[in-house]
């Protein structure tokens, strides 16, 4: 009477396991090709970051911050943060971390922006995709490591794959919202001048939605950075791995150093991308 009836039990775990087994058996070669492509992109970005002299990177970030925030002290502060990362001995690891973030964000944008556009143009597609995006954002991030491991094994590729799943929803949502918030009067005016649906999309809706899309890019980048430590659990080298090793060895100092480096990267990326989005929104409003 007080126990839940057995006949109402749903074997969801068994269904998911069976589905993953079918995917591995029938689509394994496809995921191998995807993994090879992701790894090639990631290694290319990583080599570029490691090839650029540290002083050039620091100066470039300082100048970009100064121009984006329009405050000279912001450039000096962000450059000083990068100098501190190097002084802790984590420069190469920071570049590896940035490579994973950049690769994840690039793939997320290539998938997310077109998906957001499709959502904005189809109410049916939006109603189907919204629950999936809700699940992707509310599902514990550790869960994404399981299919990533099964499909790609240990290493950097599953880390990028798990990061993409976790980070892609914001850019999809905000692209959809930005396009849908374009005033109908503007669209009607474009139609009155004989613009085709394709011209309206590329020359009216997307340009006016760019501030919202930029905010989506900012949020996607920050969520990708939030996966750094979690991704290290499946073999992704970088600052997250140092945090994980410090936890395992109970090395408080090492963990603090690696953690503060991640915080510095988060501040730099967030402030610069947020400033770019704000400037774009200001220019569009004027």
DSSP 6-71: GGG---HHHHHHHHHHHHHHHSHHHHHHHHHHHHHHHHHHHHHHHHS-HHHHHHHHHHHHHHHHT-
Q: Which domain holds residue 211?
A: 13-51+88-285
Domains identified in the chain, total number:
1
Quick check: is 104 in a domain? yes
Count of CB atoms situated within 10 Å of the CB of 201: 20
pLDDT exceeds 80 at position 128: yes
Quick check: is 214 in a domain? yes
Quick check: is 278 in a domain? yes
Angle in degrees, CA 221, 224, 227, rounded to 5: 155
Q: What CATH number is given to the structural domain containing 20? A: 1.10.3720.10
Q: Residue 88's pLDDT is what?
A: 86
Quick check: is 70 in a domain? no
Question: Residue 120 — very low, low, confident or very high, per pLDDT cuts 50/70/90?
Answer: confident
Q: Residue 221's pLDDT is what?
A: 86
pLDDT exceeds 60 at position 51: yes
Top-ranked range on mean pLDDT: pick from 1-5, 17-21, 27-31, 75-79 = 75-79
Quick check: is 7 in a domain? no
Quick check: is 82 in a domain? no
- Whole-angstrom Cα distance, residue 223 to residue 112? 14
Quick check: is 66 in a domain? no
Q: Cβ contacts of residue 137 below 8 Å, gap of 6+?
A: 169
Please, are residues 48 and 96 in contact by the beta-carbon 8 Å criterion? no
pLDDT exceeds 70 at position 279: no
Please, are residues 148 and 177 in contact by the beta-carbon 8 Å criterion? no
């Amino acid at each position: 009477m007080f126990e839940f009836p057995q006949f109402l039990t749903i074997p969801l775990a068994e269904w998911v396991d069976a589905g993953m087994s079918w995917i591995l058996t029938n689509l394994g070669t496809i995921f191998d090709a995807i993994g090879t492509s992701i790894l090639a992109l990631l290694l290319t970005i990583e080599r570029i970051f490691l090839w650029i002299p540290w002083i050039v990177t620091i100066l470039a970030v300082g100048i970009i911050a100064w121009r984006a925030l329009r405050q000279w002290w912001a450039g000096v502060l962000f450059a000083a943060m990068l100098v501190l990362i190097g002084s802790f001995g984590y420069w190469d690891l920071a570049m590896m971390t940035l490579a994973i973030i950049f690769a994840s964000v690039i793939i997320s944008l290539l998938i997310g922006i077109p998906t957001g556009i499709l959502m904005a143009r189809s109410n049916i597609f939006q109603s189907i995709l919204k629950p999936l995006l809700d699940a992707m954002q509310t599902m514990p991030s550790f869960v994404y490591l399981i299919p990533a491991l099964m499909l790609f094994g240990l290493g950097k590729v599953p880390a990028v794959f798990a990061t993409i799943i976790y980070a892609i929803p914001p850019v999809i949502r905000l692209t959809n919202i930005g396009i849908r918030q374009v005033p109908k009067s503007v669209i009607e005016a474009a139609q009155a001048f004989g613009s085709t649906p394709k011209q309206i999309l590329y020359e009216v809706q997307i340009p006016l939605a760019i501030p919202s899309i930029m905010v989506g890019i900012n949020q996607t980048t920050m969520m990708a950075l939030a996966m750094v430590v979690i991704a290290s659990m499946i073999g992704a080298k970088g600052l997250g791995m140092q945090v994980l090793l410090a936890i395992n060895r109970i090395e408080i100092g090492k963990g603090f150093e690696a953690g503060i480096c991640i915080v510095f990267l988060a501040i730099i990326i967030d402030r610069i991308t947020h400033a770019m989005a704000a400037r774009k929104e200001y220019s569009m409003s004027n």
